[in-house]
Structure 1
Amino acid sequence: MERAMSDNLRGSLFMVLAMLGFAIEDMLLKRVAAAGMPVGEILIFFGAGGCLLFAALTYVQGQPIWHPAVISPRMLAKAGFEVMGRLFYTLAIAFTALSSASAILQATPLVVVAGAALIFGEKVGWRRWSAILLGLFGVLVILRPGLEGFTWASLLAVLGLLGFAGRDLATRAAPKVLTNFQLGIYGFLAMVPTGAALLTWQGGAVMLNPMMAVQLMIAVVVGVAAYWALTVAMRTGEVSVVTPFRYTRLVFALVLGVVVFGERLDAATMIGSAIVVSAGLYTLVRTRRVAG
């Protein structure tokens, strides 16, 4: 019992550290975009940097960098969803408030549960379906469609949410012979050609100044470290205990949005965030009870 409690405590701590890392990564990428760097160029550098770091980690672990399973249909689907999630969420944090984009992203676990039921045939009862619908209503509260506070750019975060949910579902179906580090290599690599295509449409690259370069490098290192911490968290503690700490990312994003970018938190964002998080936590608790 004591060992289980210790593992859950360590797993929860690593999950919080991972969410802090992802929030810092988002903040740095938003700062680089605000400094005038096109999103396509950000994706190129961020994707290449993450790919190289994961390749180095894979090599140090004695794992092969290339495996034929990488070009399997499931992996190609995962790469496509990874690109969709990264592309649209990066655009979202570049053109909208970090706090609202991060709040919308918190609905990802709800969409994953719905997708698991529809695609993999997992049993989801009416209570969890109700929680999923409530969480999606919370997203609508944040978006404020039809009201003065609504902006079409906010839909970028929704598309990013759908991409990340698809990636998580595809990861479940990914070939078991591939390790997390190997998955990381090709997830980041897929951003490079996507960024290049977007950059062509945006009109070309800009010259990086020293501050841009430093912030991008820190974002890559912090992002990879956060991914590693997330992996440790999920493999150390019980999933039902560790997973709720994913929502600390929203807290960190709200604080960074206010402190770094001077964002003002309106009632709709706070109420919608509370609805999304509450629905997500209920879904996790209900899933644990059903599994038990």
Structure 2
Amino acid sequence: MRAFLWMTGALVSFCLMAIGGRELAGGINTFQILLSRSVIGLLVVSAVIWRTGKPELFRTQRLKLQVGRNLFHFVGQYGWFLGIGLLPLAQVFALEFTTPLWTLLIAALFLKEKLTTRKAVAIALGSIGVVLILNPGGDIVNPAALYVLGAAVCYALSYVATKALSTTEAPLTILFYMCLVQLPLGLLLSASHFVVPTPLQWVWLTLIGLSALSAHFCLTHAMKTAEVSVVVTLDFLRLPLIGVVGMALYGEGFKPMLLVGAALMLGGNLVNVYKPR
């Protein structure tokens, strides 16, 4: 029950972040959105660290890996928010579910993790799911879909780096350097397109910054209170939920093939994380 409540918080956070991104699309440059997210995140995480009374959390033992991880994460965020403004929300979320697929491949290539039969099945199911979602030759193919797929690859690279960092760095330290490294990137890239947000745009920017942190916070606690297979299954509910949001708020259609493709990717993820008792 606790895991369900934490995942509910994560699902709501992801949907709020997507709504904020859609509302700001065309009015605020994507780099400025990322800048605002980093500023808000840095303030909140710094306050939490000071509250814990552990200033050592501001220090890292692996600065180069922190920087490399956040370069990929920054590019991934850019592609995700770009897709939010150009594609139906459900398609963005469906394509984002390819991240575990890319993580398996990258871990096998760069961390020399063994590519087992179970992982191969997961990759095969995920690949079929991607083909169904993209529907080559159909009307759903959109160059923006490639941005989101690229974002998923970048997220996978950042997850692999996070896995390596987690052996020596605390979660709060990783979060702090995520905001610290990405803030100057957002500032530099948004300088030529910077606009003063309206009061309503400030609301959406703040919502994005806070929901990004709450999503990570809720997911972390869900992982602590339930098995990975349970969390992965509950996370799948993001797709129908954002589909309803897209239809209700933006009049978007929901293609059943998105659900079928994402279900195959879910099956692949469950095959990979399943552990016989």
Q: TM-score, normalised by structure 2?
A: 0.90
Which residue in 2 is equivalent to 1:60?
51
**Is the 8 Å Cα contact of residues 118 and 271 (structure 2) preserved in structure 1?**
no
Structure 2, gaps ≥5 residues long: none
**Is the 8 Å Cα contact of residues 105 and 161 (structure 1) preserved in structure 2?**
yes
Cα separation, partners in 2 of 1:96 and 1:194, compared to 1, 3 Å: farther
2:117 aligned partner, one-letter code = W
Identity of aligned residues (%): 27
1:246 aligned partner, one-letter code = D
For the residue of structure 2 that corresponds to 1:194, the secondary structure is helix
Which residue in 2 is equivalent to 1:155?
146
* Deviations, residues 105-164 of structure 1 (Å, cap 9, x unaligned): 012122222322333233332243122122122112212233333111111110110111
The counterpart of 1:214, out of the listed 173, 188, 203, is: 203
Which residue in 2 is equivalent to 1:275?
264
Which residue in 2 is equivalent to 1:17?
9
**Is the 8 Å Cα contact of residues 106 and 250 (structure 1) preserved in structure 2?**
no
Cα separation, partners in 2 of 1:177 and 1:126, compared to 1, 3 Å: closer
Which residue in 2 is equivalent to 1:3?
none
For the residue of structure 1 that corresponds to 2:231, the secondary structure is helix
CA offset at residue 70 of structure 1?
5.0
Cα separation, partners in 2 of 1:88 and 1:120, compared to 1, 3 Å: same
Q: TM-score, normalised by structure 1?
A: 0.86
- CA RMSD across the alignment: 2.1
Which residue in 1 is equivalent to 2:22?
30
Which residue in 1 is equivalent to 2:219?
230
- Any residues of structure 2 matched to 1:39-188 within 5 Å, and which? 39-64=30-55, 65-71=57-63, 73-174=64-165, 176-188=167-179
Cα separation, partners in 2 of 1:271 and 1:166, compared to 1, 3 Å: same
The size of the alignment, in residue pairs, is: 276
* Deviations, residues 33-67 of structure 1 (Å, cap 9, x unaligned): 25x11111111111111121111111111222521
**Is the 8 Å Cα contact of residues 114 and 129 (structure 1) preserved in structure 2?**
no
Give the Cα–Cα distance (whole angstroms) in 2 for the partners of residues 91 and 153 of structure 1.
Answer: 8
CA offset at residue 171 of structure 1?
0.6
Cα separation, partners in 2 of 1:63 and 1:190, compared to 1, 3 Å: same
Runs of 4+ aligned residues of structure 1 deviating over 4 Å after TM superposition are none
Give the Cα–Cα distance (whole angstroms) in 1 for the partners of residues 73 and 19 of structure 2.
Answer: 20
Give the Cα–Cα distance (whole angstroms) in 2 for the partners of residues 175 and 281 of structure 1.
Answer: 23
Cα separation, partners in 2 of 1:237 and 1:274, compared to 1, 3 Å: closer
* Deviations, residues 245-269 of structure 1 (Å, cap 9, x unaligned): 2222223222222222211012432
Give the Cα–Cα distance (whole angstroms) in 2 for the partners of residues 46 and 135 of structure 1.
Answer: 31
Give the Cα–Cα distance (whole angstroms) in 2 for the partners of residues 63 and 85 of structure 1.
Answer: 30
Give the Cα–Cα distance (whole angstroms) in 2 for the partners of residues 62 and 177 of structure 1.
Answer: 19
* Deviations, residues 191-248 of structure 1 (Å, cap 9, x unaligned): 3233334435xx5222211111011112222221221111211223333433332222
Give the Cα–Cα distance (whole angstroms) in 2 for the partners of residues 16 and 243 of structure 1.
Answer: 13
Cα separation, partners in 2 of 1:57 and 1:209, compared to 1, 3 Å: same
Structure 1, gaps ≥5 residues long: 1-8
CA offset at residue 89 of structure 1?
1.0
